[in-house]
Structure 1
Amino acid sequence: MVRQDSNGYEQNSYIKKNKNPECMNLVPIRNGTSSSNNNSNNGSYWKVSRGLFVETDESPINRKLPKELLLKIFSWLDIVSLCRCAQVSKSWNNLALDGSNWQSVDFFQFQVDIDSYVVENLARRCGGFLKVLSLSGCQAVGDNALSTFAQHCNNIEKLNLQGCKKLTDRTCQSLAKHCHKLQGCINFGNEALFHLARNCRNLEIVNLHSCKNIQDEGLIELSERCAKLRYICISNCNNLTDQSLIAIANNCINLQTFECAGLSQLTDAGFQALARSCHKLERMDLEECVLITDHTVTQLAFHCPYLESLSLSHCELITDEGIRHLGAASCASEFLTVLELDNCPLITDLSLHHLINCHNLQRIELYDCQLITRAGIRRLRNHLPNVRVHAYFAPVTPPPSANNSRQRFCRCCNLL
């Protein structure tokens, strides 16, 4: 049965949306006003719910258990329980408010009526530990708080700002500058793209990674109205077809980076149109675009002279012929620095021979290319001594024993 204490907290550690819950004043505030009577060791106080305390705790649990173990115990607690523990003593305050315990925070579960300083203090305390934060409904939070948050919590991956009405473009600028791991809204769909296209004509960068609700109509609208796009990521947007590529080719001639990994419906027709129009392309990620063939590689080699990075991993139809055209292209000798060919089963040592004129090649990925040999890699390195080759060769199968006998079980099974 759920019971409530005198402050309105539920005993199962979740609380009602109280106007002034204790934990709100407790959220990480450290090194406060100096003590007037100098009772603390370092002259600093720790602010708790409605007062100040100094460290006098000599309880058995603190003397018996190492701090590492206590910290592990605290890691299993929810936010409200952590705040309660932080009111016990200075040592518990330090452990409970350790950033490692605050990797995911959802204020909506217990309090949305918070001020900006709470977010700022949380950011300073958590730093790089915080990965998920929901400020849904926190209408008092403003740009300054989110600017401080962005500077301290640059490992944030998911951020919910629904209903935060005081935020402006300043917040978007701060997040874009500092939070490079921030993931987009995966529920983003065509309707959102329509609004984006009609109101952000000067858009240059758009990352729609894993937005599976997006369809051709939305991306066509975006490309037609946002002709200044130079970076587009549509990786894992599984509903897109060649129609999207053709629209981008017809409108976004300044495109420099295009990432479309995992799109199994895209074919040579779409990429050929893209290559023929977008001559400024520098980076292409075509990983797991399983329908493309040497025709796509040939067109990129012929029409994209500034190509620096190309990923063809898991493009199982690519052969030595496509790599021959790439190695002979003008981009190969001047600009090509990264080439990824993981899991391309038709690639042989002949492809490596075609790449010996790629003088600026810095890295080539060859994992699970079963027709590539160590001898082929050595020959490539003789011409390109600075290239890093990432490859894997399975260990040689040991020869059978003289009497051709086999153990019935492996060593582990025998032990069991």
Structure 2
Amino acid sequence: MDNNKLNRKRLWSSLALDGINWQSIDLFTFQKHVKSNVLDGIARRCGGFLKELSLKGCENIHDSALRSFTAKCANIEYLSLHKCKRVTDTTCDNLGRHCHKLLTLNLDNCTAITDRSLRSIADGCRMLETLNISWCDNVTDRGIQMLLQGCPLLSTLILKGCEGLTERVFEGVESNLKELRVLNMHQCYVTDITVTCLAEGAHNLQSLNLANCNLISDASLQALAKGCKQLVSVHNHDSLIEMCVKFDPDMLHDSDLTADGRDCINITDSSVICFSMNCPNLANLGLSHCELLTDASITALIANQREILEVLELDNCPNISDAGLSQLKVCPKLRRLDLYDCQNVSKDAVCRFRSQRPGVEVHAYFAPLTPPAAAAHGRQGGPICR
């Protein structure tokens, strides 16, 4: 080998082994093969240069390997331990002791985690902005309260399936919710007490997921109306907020915000009109199976959300008609419109709308005139527009 080739080989080898070139590492693809010695090698090689590490699904990783990692990689800012089920409170103790620059921590499905972990994070990771502890059943109200008190910059909190929490999880820490922008409490024990406490402090909240929280009533929506006027998304594919509530239209006042989700069959036009007037940042709205809605709801959305509306779901709204669909063509940012099983919306109207707004993804279904001999499962039928 000539000297030039040898020098190039040495240069590439040097670059490959230089920790400064390994600031972000994702081992998800190799999860089954990642053992403790791999993490030890990363820690030794990258040291203080490493900023981001994803160990998602690496179930062979345990506390002893992470002890060395946290000591050597103290500048870590993003760490995902999603489904690292051997991880316990010991790892979070070490994160709090060494990793003071941590911004994002994912402990989704780390089922051994308890309040002790949240106390350690609150004590040592005060710059934390995002935390995911979904399905960590051993976390209680006290752990969340310590976290909120110790991490003043926390803006995203994912609590899906945390069954150890009660309705009073935010009681007494309302003043620590002011930076919260995104909250996911899917399948948690949530009542009007929970939402009222949240609304008293989380005035900058933009996204809220209350899917499968069927104990909340209209009082929750009124509390959100008064306290959380920055809500941007009200139900989308990720169900940022999906409320199936015990709704009483007679309780609604003009000044109240109403957050309506799918399958709320008692929602009326007056509700959507008030929602539209009091939520100026509303861009995504799911109203599927709200069977009492008419074109008047669309008229209100056009009047108040015309310039920002992006996603509108109207599946199974039988009183929405061609006239209502036609109004939506003036929304410049509209990118998705769902109209499955809207019996009063015609195929011709959908085709006309698509020709006028070709950039909008329109989901609609029209049954064939003659059913096929062997119908497969799911929605069928020919093309919407030929």
- 3-state SS, counterpart of residue 355 of structure 1: helix
Residue 278 (structure 1) aligns with:
228
- Runs of 5+ consecutive residues of structure 1 not aligned to the other structure: 1-41, 44-97, 401-406, 411-416
Match of 2:337, SS state, is: strand
TM-score of the two chains, using structure 2 as the length reference: 0.60
The residue type equivalent to 1:246 in the other structure is T
| Counterpart in the other structure of 1:298 | 273
Corresponding residue SS for 2:221: helix
Distance (Å, rounded) in 2 between the aligned partners of 1:321 and 1:120: 64
Larger Rg: 1
Sort the Cα spacing of 1:100 and 1:279 in 2 relative to 1 into closer, same or farther, 3 A. closer
Aligned-residue Cα RMSD (Å) equals 4.7
| Pairing partner for 1:319 from 261, 283, 293 | 293
* Shift of residue 217, structure 1, vs aligned partner: 0.1
Please list, as runs of the form range in 1=range in 2, the aligned pairs for 1:12-411 lying within 5 A after superposition: 100=29, 102-103=31-32, 116-117=40-41, 130-133=56-59, 134-138=61-65, 139-142=67-70, 144-145=72-73, 157-159=82-84, 160=87, 162-164=89-91, 165-168=93-96, 169-170=99-100, 172-173=102-103, 175=105, 184-187=134-137, 188-237=139-188, 239-285=189-235, 286-287=241-242, 289=244, 290-291=263-264, 293-294=267-268, 296-313=271-288, 315-317=289-291, 319-320=293-294, 323-324=297-298, 326-330=300-304, 332-342=305-315, 347-349=320-322, 351-367=324-340, 369=342, 372-398=345-371
Q: Distance in 2 between matches of 1:243 and 1:350?
A: 41
Residue identity over aligned pairs, in percent, reads: 25
What is the CA–CA distance in structure 1 between the aligned matches of 2:35 and 2:135, rounded to whole Å?
17
Q: Which runs of 5+ in 2 are unaligned?
A: 1-8, 11-26, 107-126, 236-240, 245-262, 377-386
How far off its partner does 1:397 sit?
Answer: 3.9
> Residue 362 of structure 1 aligns to which amino acid in structure 2?
R
> 1:309·1:336 contact (CA, 8 Å) conserved in 2?
yes
- Deviation, 1:302, is 1.0
Whole-angstrom CA distance in 1 between matches of 2:297 and 2:72: 51
Take 2:317 and 2:136, find their aligned partners in 1: how far apart are those partners?
Answer: 30
Pair 256,349 (structure 1): closer, same or farther in 2 beyond 3 Å: same
Contact 2:282 2:309 in 1 (8 A): yes
* Maintained 8 Å contact 1:307/1:335: yes
Distance 1:308 1:319 in 2: 19
> Conserved in 1, the CA contact under 8 Å of 2:131 and 2:156?
no
Instruction: Give the secondary-structure state (helix, strand or coil) at the position aligned to 1:265.
Output: coil
Relative to structure 1, is the Cα distance of residues 148 and 225 closer, same or farther in structure 2, using a 3 angstrom cutoff? Answer: closer
Classify 1:398/1:284 alpha carbon distance in 2 versus 1 (closer, same or farther; 3 Å). Answer: closer
